[in-house]
């Protein structure tokens, strides 16, 4: 028995390793070159990204390749009548399925570790590589075109030349929110803050003017910060660990309580002082907007947290469905078995998963159960086929 189970387990492991390696390498190159084309990265940055993009692809490649693996191995075992032989010898069919279920359980834990630890680490390193490359791209564009225009950032930079990190005769125009000014300098030096994705500009012999005003100020030296990337923003939930997600949820809850207390205090003092105009709907619009924004962030974080557990558990359920179906068909046409199993997953599992993600993010359903709906459907189908395998 142990020999038979070891044989099946290592067959599964060997084939799975080949398949997941090939598919992951293919997707990694597609993902890296897509990122490089969107961000304008060079060959050096592309090779730096390769080790960090691979972990991001594994949670998507593992379930599909695991399903194909069990379809191949168990389709061959059943097609060679080995299942019939072992049952005739008094061996329960579950003994043949135990290696696949064990591998599915191991990969479920591994998939969760990837999404919870490895992918956040890889995402931060990807952003670091891109941020470092952005500084060089920033200088290359200025040297080639002598200007940079970022309407979304309200920033325009014009130079007559670039010498290393020195800008010759630069003119900076900033016009966004409450910042409206023009800086004309003899020269400026640049320093890049890759962590905050900002560029520090130190002006020399500069004149600062404000549009619509006659005020001018001459300074010997001045330093200002500008965003290095228009995509700068908060860390995405996918780049956070479960511990960080829980901490962020607790922080949002605390902010919501403080906001509610402040709103109640204003309402109470307005009632006491008889300032009823202050109680108008418009005066509390900002509080409602902030509360709605924090609630949306909280839902997004909760959905991400529960989706990781559900996506990790799908590895085990894919094994249950694929192995049971392949043994029931008792055919060596593994590709047919795989397609028959994968089509319902493609047409039902993933659409239901994405639907529940959207509903959870909007607050229509609770993510703690909604993210498991697709898994329950796959698990029910797997148990149905398993029951038929055991009986027949």
Give the distance from CA 79 to its chain's centroid: 41
For residues 24 and 56, what is the distance between their CA atoms, to the nearest angstrom? 10
Residue appearing with tokens 């319902």: 344
Lowest mean pLDDT of 73-82, 224-233, 265-274, name the range.
224-233
Residues 39 and 106 placed together within one structural domain of the fold: yes
In the structure encoding, which two tokens stand for residue 50, read together?
């390769």
Residue 245, domain member (yes or no): yes
On whether residue 127 sits in a domain, the answer given is yes
pLDDT digits (tens, 9 = 90+) for 322-353: 999 888 887 656 677 788 888 888 888 889 99
Residue-level pLDDT at 98: 92
Residues 64 and 8 both lie in one domain: yes
The domain boundary residue, chosen from 296, 320, 337: 296
Q: Are both 208 and 328 inside the same structural domain?
A: no
Do 220 and 246 share a domain, yes or no? no
Under the banding of pLDDT at 50, 70 and 90, the label for residue 133 is confident
**Count H helices, E strands: the chain?**
11, 8
| Whether 115 and 16 share a structural domain | yes
pTM: 0.76
Q: What is the pLDDT of residue 40?
A: 62
Q: Specify whether 65 is located in the same domain as 25.
A: yes
- Is residue 194 domain-shared with residue 244, that is, in the same domain? no
Residues 127 and 20 in one domain: yes
Give the Å distances, CA to CA, from 192 to 140, 155, 169, 334: 14, 17, 20, 54
203-207, Cβ contacts within 8 angstroms, sequence gap of 24 or more: 203/170, 207/183
User: Residues 308, 197: one domain?
Assistant: no
Residue 142 is assigned to a structural domain of this protein: no
CA distance 120 to 239: 4
386 φ, ψ (degrees, to nearest 5) = -65, -40
Q: Give residue 159's domain range.
A: 153-227
Structure tokens at 107: 């990969």
| Residue 324, domain member (yes or no) | yes
Residue 128 within any structural domain of the chain: yes
Q: Are 248 and 240 in contact (CB under 8 A)?
A: yes
Decide if 138 contacts 229 (C-beta within 8 A): no
pLDDT higher than 70, residue 281: no
- Specify the pLDDT at position 39: 62
> Which comes out higher in pLDDT, residue 43 or 9?
9
pLDDT surpasses 80 at 151: no
Give the span between the Cα atoms of 281 and 114, in whole angstroms: 47
Tell whether 140 is covered by a domain.
no
Please count the structural domains in the chain: 3
Report the candidate in 291, 259, 265 with the shortest Cα–Cα distance to residue 278.
265
- pLDDT tens-place string over residues 202-242: 888 888 887 766 666 777 777 777 766 555 445 688 888 99
Domain assignment present for 292: yes
Torsion angle (degrees, nearest 10) of CA 122, 126, 132, 137? 170
Q: Is 139 part of a structural domain of the chain? A: no
Residues 11 and 124 occupy one common structural domain: yes
């Amino acid at each position: 028995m142990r020999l038979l189970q070891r044989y099946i387990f290592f067959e599964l492991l060997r084939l799975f390793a080949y398949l997941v390696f090939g598919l992951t390498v293919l997707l990694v190159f597609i993902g890296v070159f897509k990122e490089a084309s969107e961000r304008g990265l060079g060959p050096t940055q592309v090779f730096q990204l390769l080790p960090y993009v691979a972990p991001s692809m594994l949670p998507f490649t593992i379930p599909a390749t695991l399903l194909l693996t069990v379809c191949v191995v168990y389709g061959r075992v059943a097609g060679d009548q080995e299942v019939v032989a072992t049952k005739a010898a008094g061996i329960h069919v579950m003994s043949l399925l135990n290696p696949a279920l064990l591998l599915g359980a191991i990969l479920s834990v591994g998939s969760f570790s990837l999404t919870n630890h490895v992918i956040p680490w890889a995402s931060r390193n990807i952003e670091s590589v891109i941020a470092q490359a952005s500084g060089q791209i920033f200088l290359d564009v200025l040297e080639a075109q002598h200007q940079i225009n970022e309407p979304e950032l309200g920033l325009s930079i014009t130079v007559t030349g670039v010498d290393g990190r020195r800008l010759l005769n630069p003119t900076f125009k900033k016009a966004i929110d409450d910042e409206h000014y023009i800086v004309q300098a003899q020269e400026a030096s640049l320093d890049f803050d890759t962590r905050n994705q900002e560029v520090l500009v130190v002006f020399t012999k500069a004149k600062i003017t404000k549009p619509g005003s006659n005020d001018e100020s001459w300074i010997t030296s001045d330093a200002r910060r500008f965003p290095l990337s228009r995509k700068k923003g908060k860390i995405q939930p996918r780049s956070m660990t479960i511990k960080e997600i829980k901490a962020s949820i607790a922080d949002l809850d605390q902010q919501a309580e403080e906001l509610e207390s402040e709103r109640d205090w204003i309402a109470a003092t307005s009632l006491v002082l008889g300032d009823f105009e202050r109680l108008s709907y418009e005066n509390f619009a900002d509080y409602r907007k902030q509360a709605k924004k924090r609630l949306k962030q909280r839902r997004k974080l909760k959905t991400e947290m529960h989706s990781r557990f559900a996506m990790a558990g799908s590895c085990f359920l894919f094994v249950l469905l694929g192995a049971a179906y392949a043994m029931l068909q008792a055919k060596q046409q593994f590709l047919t078995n795989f397609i028959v199993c994968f089509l319902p997953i493609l047409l039902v599992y993933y659409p239901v998963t994405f639907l529940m993600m959207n509903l959870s993010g909007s607050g229509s359903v609770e993510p703690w159960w909604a993210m498991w709906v697709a898994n329950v459907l796959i698990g029910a189908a797997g148990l149905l086929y398993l029951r038929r395998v055991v009986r027949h």
